[in-house]
Structures are given as C-alpha cells and as structure tokens.
C-alpha cells in the first residue's frame, strides 16, 4: 500500500511541534502579498507578523546568550547574537521546517523561486515565531526558539571579535587609513528597512553588507572584507 504524501501544512505543523489554538495566525504567517486578492489588506500577509517576530526572536536569543555565556562581554554577546538572528540562519531553519513548501504565494512569485529565496524564508520564519507568540504567549515562542536555535548557538565556533573593530585594527596593522562606510541602498517598508552598506579599505575592492539597520549592515560589510581577505576563516 502506497502512503499518501503528507500535506505541506500538516507536515509543517508536525515540524513546529506546537499545537495552534488559532490556525488563522499560522495561515497569515505563511501568506505572501502575492497570494492576496486585490481587495485584501496588508494585514492578510506575513509582513506585520514578521515585524513582531523579529523582536520576539531577538529577546529569546538574547536571553539564551545571557544564560549560556555568563563570562562573555557585550562585544562577544553581540557577535553571537548577530549570527543567530541573521537571515541566513533563519532561512536555514525555515528550510528544515519545510516552510518553503507551506508558503501561500502567487504563481509569479513561485515561478521566480520564491519558495527558496533566503530573505523570504527568513521573514516568514520570523512571522511564524510571532504567530506562536500571539497564540501561546512568550514562553511558547521562547521554547520554539530554544529547540531550534540553541543547538546552533552552543556549537557555533565563529570569530567573536566585532567585525568593524577587527577590520580597523587589521587596516592599521598594514598602515592603511581607517575604513570608510557608505550607505549605497535602502529597501523595504519603513517599519522593516534593509540597508546596503559599502566599506572601502585603501587598495582593496569594496565590500558590501546588508542589514536591518545601518550598524548591522556596516558589520556585515566589514565581515565580508575580513572573510574575502582571509582574516576570518570560518
């Protein structure tokens, strides 16, 4: 007897290991604007939930870092935090959960690879966190984050120095001027902007980084140069 493949939504509900009292919250969290009817409002898509989920994720991660690394200074905690909440980490977790298959997206978005886009996967992952928070409270959301992010937090062995500070010290060691940072782009809505920053080090090709704030974009740009130049190996 051939078993019928599990519905993507049912598979996701199992992977989330959380029993929603209000499934409408999950439905909205999984809905891209391209799947809405012209008469629908933005409240019917994931965007407002993503805004909330970003903050819930940040608090949950900060709390775990404070618990697990009692001797870490603010710089180390910030470095670990940035790695845990960056879009690539959220997108990896979204893929593991099967969020891409369960998304509600329009045909055009699907045809352009929407189900595999890192930014969209990360955003909807945060929207799902918000849905759990609204449905079951912070403890439920925190437990969800702990289960999926904590193993990564405890096994990560990347560089712990602040990227901008490290790049400046590296440039100084080579008798180069202080790196210069310039905002070269801004996308997204006002409540959730995405900045693109270029960092210039004399004699090197510029490095670019994106982030939800200028500060984070600058850090990511500095990190891009450090990795490209082999200063950071991981």
Is 9 in contact with 102 (CB distance < 8 Å)?
Answer: yes
Burial of 208 (0-12, 13-18, 19+ CB in 10 A): middle
Q: Among residues 19, 40, 50, 54, which one is catalytic?
A: 54
Q: Among residues 126, 162, 218, 223, which one is catalytic?
A: 126
What single DSSP character describes residue 39?
A: T
Q: How many residues does the chain have?
A: 234
40 counts as catalytic: no
Q: Tell me the CA distances in angstroms from 48 to 6, 56, 61, 221, one per residue in order.
A: 29, 13, 20, 28
Q: Quote the CA–CA distance of 49 and 56 in Å, as a whole number.
A: 10
**Local structure of 194: helix, strand or coil:** strand
54 counts as catalytic: yes
Supply the residues annotated as catalytic. 54, 126
């Amino acid at each position: 007897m051939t078993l019928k493949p599990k519905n993507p939504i049912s598979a996701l509900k199992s992977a989330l290991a959380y029993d929603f009292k209000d499934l409408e919250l999950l439905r909205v969290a999984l809905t891209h604007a391209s799947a809405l009817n012209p008469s629908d409002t933005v409240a019917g898509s994931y965007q407002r939930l993503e805004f909330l989920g970003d903050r819930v994720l940040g608090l949950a991660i900060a709390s775990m870092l404070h618990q697990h690394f009692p001797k870490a200074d603010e710089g180390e905690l910030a470095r670990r935090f940035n790695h845990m909440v960056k879009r690539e980490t959220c997108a990896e977790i979204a893929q593991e959960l099967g969020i891409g298959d369960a998304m509600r997206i329009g045909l055009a978005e699907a045809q352009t690879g929407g189900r595999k886009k890192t930014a969209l996967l990360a955003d909807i992952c945060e929207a799902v966190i918000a849905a759990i928070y609204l449905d079951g409270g912070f403890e439920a959301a925190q437990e969800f984050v702990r289960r999926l992010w904590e193993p990564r937090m405890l096994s990560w062995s990347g560089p712990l120095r602040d990227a901008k500070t490290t790049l400046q010290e590296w440039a100084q060691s080579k008798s180069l001027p202080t790196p210069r940072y310039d905002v070269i782009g801004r996308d997204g809505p006002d409540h959730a902007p995405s900045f693109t920053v270029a960092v210039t080090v004399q004699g090197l090709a510029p490095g670019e980084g994106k982030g939800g704030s200028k500060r984070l974009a600058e850090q990511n740009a500095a990190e891009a140069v450090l990795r490209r130049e082999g200063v950071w190996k991981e």
